[in-house]
Amino acid sequence: MKSGKRTNPMTWLIIGSGVILLLLFLMPRGGAGPEIEISQVMQMAQSGLLEKIEVKGDDLIVFTISGEVFTSRKEAGVSVLELLNERGLDPGLGGIQVDVKSQGNSFFALLITFLPIVLIGALIFFMMRRSQGGINQAMNIGKSKARPVATDAPSVRFDDVAGSDEAKQELIEIVDFLKSPEKFTRLGAKIPKGVLLIGAPGTGKTLISRAVAGEAGVPFFATSGSEFVEMFVGVGASRVRDLFDRAKRNAPSIVFIDEIDAVGRHRGAGIGGGNDEREQTLNQILVEMDGFEANANVIVIAATNRPDVLDPALTRPGRFDRRVMIDLPDIKGRQAILEVHAKGKPLANDVDLHTVAKETHGFTGADLANLVNEAAIFSARLSKTEIGMAEFEESIDRVMSGPARKSRKVSDREKQVVAYHEAGHAVVAAQIPDADPVHKVTIVSRGMAGGHTRLLPEEDRNLWTKSQFEAMITVMMGGQAAEEVVFGDVTTGASDDLQNATNVARKMVTEYGMSAELGPQAFESNQGQAFLGRYISRGQNYSDAIAQKIDSEIGKILIVARKKAKETVEANRDRLSRLAERLLIIETLQGPELQDLLVGNLPGNAPAEA
Ligand code: ADP
Ligand code: MG
Ligand code: ZN
């Protein structure tokens, strides 16, 4: 950057002085003509061949009568006149004309004397400047690369973020804090420091963060966790310091840390190549966040798609204690995103973005933006003036079959299985008395799961009853039970459910004394063993015979639950189908419509619970 500009004058100086030196050396000293010895000159003078001798210091230019020109040199301190006199030659009238000229080219002589000194001086000067620049540059690594240097707020608004209504709802509060902090501080409310955005890549985490800054009209300082992982230890930390300094100077403002998991992983004790650099960077982030004064009014938004690997220190209250989930968009969200990106593009009349949305199950916002762009490029290549439905279809295929997106392609059959699976969880949850109410059912995938069903407890509880645990396990079994009842076969889609169910059952048996067979004895302390900051292994403090009993008790709990789930599904087969078919159409169900499908009257059947 700056060093490039700095080398220029230096290069010119070197080239320029090189040229001057070359010219000086090439310049014939004292004029043209071959050089001859002084004795030869004298001989020629004695022979009467010379017409004129020009003297410049010790340099001589000799002109012969025949018009030839020679150069020569004499000894210093001896004059030409003396030399001629010695040989009995009398210069002057009729004799040899002697012209004494002023001492050579004094300017060039001076230049030749002083140029090397000047050059060396300049060289040293520039080298010092440069090495200083180097030092400055090394210092600059510590300066955060956080974009914008300008402190204007981004121009993105919430309207540019389609769908994600829940996330926007939660973030509006942050906008409020930034816009009018007095409103909150007056009441003694602490302004939140950190928000953790969780969502798959391309779901618009960066976009929505910029929109928060845009809505609040505050500057946005963005950086990425991966940028901190540098070569030199300590550099990441100083970058963090610098980033926060700038944010504080421009408060109210937002600091955005993308890919926080790159620095915010569980800190270990250096096993497996513990990364000191990462740890220091993370520590610095924590220090900065803790160091905000109550009204610093800088809010840190961090994004990740791996909340599971984050260091617990990051999610502690006072740090990133607010979590905002950004899900993959459902069919309505996808249509809205398509509309945002189609804005300003000429669409043909046959384009139905609702249909496109229907066909793009599993696409992220970034995928959809890409899709619209592909369709436009495709139309342009065909020299069309409008983007037609055919181009959209073509682009869907292309985005889906692209190398990175294979996993996104969900066949109709798969979608159906997922729909019945999730409907199974929901129906069982709605029918079993001790289960929590169903809040939301979706077949939009999150992580590895095809879809998910969210139950919402009516109250926070610290105490759980045995029947609540049993109900919970039964609901977990509902998904696979539905698959079995409807399709006569089960899929791998239930592995998470089974894992969770087994964990709950194990706790019931080994920690809470909820098994009649084993009685009220705790076989594992619920403290676990904190090892390197994580619960890695637990020692076994009972005999193998007990271990066998534990396993058989866990098995019993699971089998009973599974049986109950299957019975429930079978008894509510109509409800299950209605729910699943509706899910296939609108993908996400919640609120009154969901409640109606789950517990409302079935059309045709008069009373609900027949
Ligand atoms: P992430 O940070 O979650 O990986 P980005 O915010 O970088 O995702 O999103 C990438 C691009 O995808 C955005 O620039 C935008 O064009 C598009 N996009 C993603 N989500 C949405 C959305 N909800 N509405 C409109 N465009 C979106
Ligand atoms: Mg991003
Ligand atoms: Zn499930």
CA pair distance 610, 606, nearest whole angstrom: 8
How many helices (H) does the chain have, and how many strands (E)? 20, 14
Contacts for 538 with CB less than 8 Å, ≥ 6 apart: 524, 528, 529
Pick among 1.10.8.60, 3.40.50.12240, 1.10.3720.10, 3.40.50.620: CATH of 331-401: 1.10.8.60
Please state, rounded to an integer, the average pLDDT across all residues of the chain: 79
Going by pLDDT thresholds of 50, 70 and 90, the confidence category of residue 531 is very low
Q: Which residues of 19-50 are buried (b: 16+ CB within 10 A; e: fewer)?
A: eeeeeeeeeebbeebeebebeebbebbeeeeb
- Asked whether the predicted pLDDT for residue 458 surpasses 90, the reply is no
Cα(201) to centroid(ligand 2), Å: 7
CA pair distance 372, 395, nearest whole angstrom: 8
R_g (Cα) of the chain, nearest Å = 43
Determine the atom of ligand 1 nearest the C-alpha atom of 199: 3
Q: Which of 18-27, 197-206, 538-547, 567-576 has the lowest mean pLDDT?
A: 18-27
Longest dimension (CA), the chain: 152
Ligand 1 pocket at CB < 6 A? 161-164, 199, 201-207, 303, 337, 340, 365-366, 369
**Amino acid at residue number 320:** F
pLDDT tens per residue, range 361-375 = 778 899 899 999 989
What are 205's two structure tokens? Answer: 């985490």
CA pair distance 104, 15, nearest whole angstrom: 26
Pocket test for ligand 1, best of 157, 203, 207 (most atoms within 8 A of CB): 207
Can you give the pLDDT at residue 136?
A: 52
Are 426 and 598 in contact by the 8 Å Cβ rule? The answer is yes
Determine the atom of ligand 1 nearest the C-alpha atom of 329: 23
CA pair distance 436, 137, nearest whole angstrom: 60
Domain locations along the chain: 38-104, 147-326, 331-401, 412-599
pLDDT tens per residue, range 106-156 = 676 777 777 878 888 888 877 776 655 545 555 555 455 544 445 677 888
Q: Report CA-CA distances (Å) from 20 to 11, 23, 30, 106, 172.
A: 14, 5, 18, 15, 70
Q: Which of 145-154, 212-221, 420-429 has the lowest mean pLDDT?
A: 145-154
CA pair distance 156, 214, nearest whole angstrom: 5
Phi, psi of 429, deg, nearest 5:
-60, -40
CA pair distance 402, 53, nearest whole angstrom: 91
Q: 3-class secondary structure for 330-391?
A: CHHHHHHHHHHHHCCCCECCCCCHHHHHHHCCCCCHHHHHHHHHHHHHHHHHCCCCCECHHH
CA pair distance 552, 58, nearest whole angstrom: 118
Cα(341) to centroid(ligand 1), Å: 10
CA pair distance 128, 428, nearest whole angstrom: 78
- Asked whether the predicted pLDDT for residue 482 surpasses 90, the reply is yes
Q: CB pairs under 8 A, 24+ apart, for 57-64?
A: 57/103, 57/104, 59/29, 59/30, 59/104, 60/30, 61/30, 61/31, 61/33, 62/33, 62/36
Q: Report CA-CA distances (Å) from 236 to 136, 137, 239, 319, 445.
A: 17, 15, 5, 19, 35
Going by pLDDT thresholds of 50, 70 and 90, the confidence category of residue 469 is very high
The topology under which CATH files domain 38-104 is 3.30.720
Cα(497) to centroid(ligand 3), Å: 5
Can you give the pLDDT at residue 4?
A: 41
Question: What are 100's strand-pairing partners?
Answer: 55
Contacts for 514 with CB less than 8 Å, ≥ 6 apart: 466, 469, 508
pLDDT tens per residue, range 292-346 = 665 578 889 999 888 777 888 787 777 887 888 888 888 889 999 999 999 989 9
Q: Report CA-CA distances (Å) from 310 to 11, 145, 304, 512, 568.
A: 51, 24, 9, 29, 39
3-class secondary structure, 61: strand
| Pairing state between β 220-224 and 59-64 | unpaired
| Nearest listed ligand to the Cα of residue 492 | 3
Active site residue 422: yes
Q: Which residues of 558-595 are buried (b: 16+ CB within 10 A; e: fewer)?
A: beebbebbbebbeebeebbbbbbebbbeebbbeeeebe
| Pairing state between β 194-199 and 97-101 | unpaired
Superfamily of domain 147-326: P-loop containing nucleotide triphosphate hydrolases (3.40.50.300)
What is the pTM assigned to this prediction?
Answer: 0.59
The topology under which CATH files domain 412-599 is Methane Monooxygenase Hydroxylase; Chain G, domain 1 (1.20.58)
Most confident of 78-92, 485-499, 565-579: 565-579
CA 600 to chain centre: 47
Determine if residue 361 is left, alpha or beta; phi over 0 gives left, psi from -120 to 50 gives alpha, anything else beta: beta
Going by pLDDT thresholds of 50, 70 and 90, the confidence category of residue 606 is very low
Among the listed residues 422, 483, 484, 524, the single catalytic one is: 422
